[in-house]
Chain A
């Protein structure tokens, strides 16, 4: 199994204070890795460091090696943007309320455009929504191309964030997801789990690196525990299905309990 992403001796200091020290792990083809650890231990900071986001005041040492781009820490501005466009990254916070008159179509189309150079029409966006998110019981979409995310609930915004990346970058070699279930109700949490599972099944070579405090995801293959001393493999993983019931043999939730 070839590594898509390899992190070696990663140390991160924020304003000269050490946050993460000597962390090493890798994400291989077809692997779905859960990065776990206490709040504030530096999980999201590691994910942002992989994409070189929010670097102001951060001092990073070690290596972040991507199979296609080499050491991410030494990429120039143009190469870094190409690297970011190749990754399916879902960030922790949704800030659609601060984005003026933006529509669902813009969110989804622009994710696709940065990845492939082509944007999408309203009809194509609606087709994608229909393809990935089940309609409500009344037959209506949860949202459509013209909906304005600024007016969405927190859960709907989260669903849009996940959909916009998964639906437009299903062929990415690496998917990075930071807390996909924030603000979600049970139905949408199951939908998100199914969406991620589906894209992994469709693209079995994709590597997944995810942070979540919720253990409903049946497709996780390995868990890396992050502590103040570094990262290590969690031998005895546990899964929690008390909210959603058991997933089927392929890891999909089909029935709400």
Chain B
């Protein structure tokens, strides 16, 4: 009887333990990264899904993606008599402005007493569409009720500027004439219009330009150290895992080389015993990490990063296995 595969007689308990350990380590790294960078990753996700070139504050709107920014603070709370307001960037829609997909967190046109809140604020305060939130009206001083008409995607800030705010989300108000007429304000516009065209419009004074590319670069810069450490740890763990697996079969592999088994058959068996367990560990940790992302509503950026790192880990496992195999043939 002839066997199809060669057994390298690895210690099964040890190999299984190593697989579990490797999966657990990867899972810890993944969840650590997700927890440490979730806000920034969500921000990056929104920026990448948006399609405007820059945002700018002006004196008059463009008719698309315009928002009022009020100099007097407007805050919302979950109950009428609450002293704790939501830590959110608040903007108000402009009466005749349209809202397109160029800004990924844009809401549809809201009613005068309607608001849209971003997902993070809704989740942490258990708010749903149709719920009422409250705000002291800056003009008449009374407490107004606002109905949540929309939940926006996860977004922390309206935009990132040099004086970055540390808010947890965004609340968009429907147009309210009283605010426009009585409270000093500027207009915030998200646009793709070439900047030279903008400057040539009569009477257009623009301030505080924030290019989306710069915002992306800023967020990536803040995420980069986390990603680098995460990647290095993942690669290191992959190589160590492959090394330990290959150590476990090295004596048998050398014995089978000496016996004269076919090179190709031995090479396949080596990969089966070194690359495959690592591969399973990576896939298990990836699956559990994605599950974690799903249950904690982490951003798609996190999921993509986990996927990308898993691919790099698999590549490193493969290269490590080839290296250790070559080393055994030489030695």
Contacts and interface: CB of A to CB of B under 8 A. Distances in A.
A41 to B, nearest CB: 22
| Main secondary structure on B side of the interface with A | helix
B261 A106 contact: no
Interface stretch (B4-12, B219-227, B296-304): B4-12
B258 A51 contact: yes
A87 B263 contact: no
Nearest to B13: A101
Interface stretch (A78-86, A130-138, A151-159, A230-238): A78-86
Contacts of B12: 100-101
B72 to A, nearest CB: 74
Given A100-B248, A101-B9, A53 B258 contact: yes
B258 A81 contact: no
Contacts, number: 75
Nearest to A114: B259
A120 to B, nearest CB: 9
A55 B328 CA distance: 10
Nearest to B260: A85
Contacts of A83: 260
A86 B259 CA distance: 9
A121 to B, nearest CB: 7
A162 to B, nearest CB: 14
B331 A84 contact: no
Given A56-B330, A98-B251, A118 B261 contact: no
Interface string B230-272: 0000000000000000001101101111111111100000000
A78 B11 CA distance: 29
B9 A55 contact: no
Interface in A88-115: 89, 91, 95, 98-102, 106, 110-111, 113-115
Given A53-B257, A56-B330, A78-B263, 20 more contacts: A53-B258, A54-B331, A55-B330, A78-B264, A85-B259, A86-B260, A87-B260, A95-B251, A99-B9, A100-B9, A100-B11, A100-B12, A100-B248, A101-B12, A102-B9, A106-B7, A106-B9, A110-B6, A110-B255, A110-B259
Interface of B: 1-3, 6-7, 9-12, 14, 248-249, 251-252, 254-264, 329-331
Interface of A: 51, 53-56, 77-78, 81-87, 89, 91, 95, 98-102, 106, 110-111, 113-115, 117-119, 121
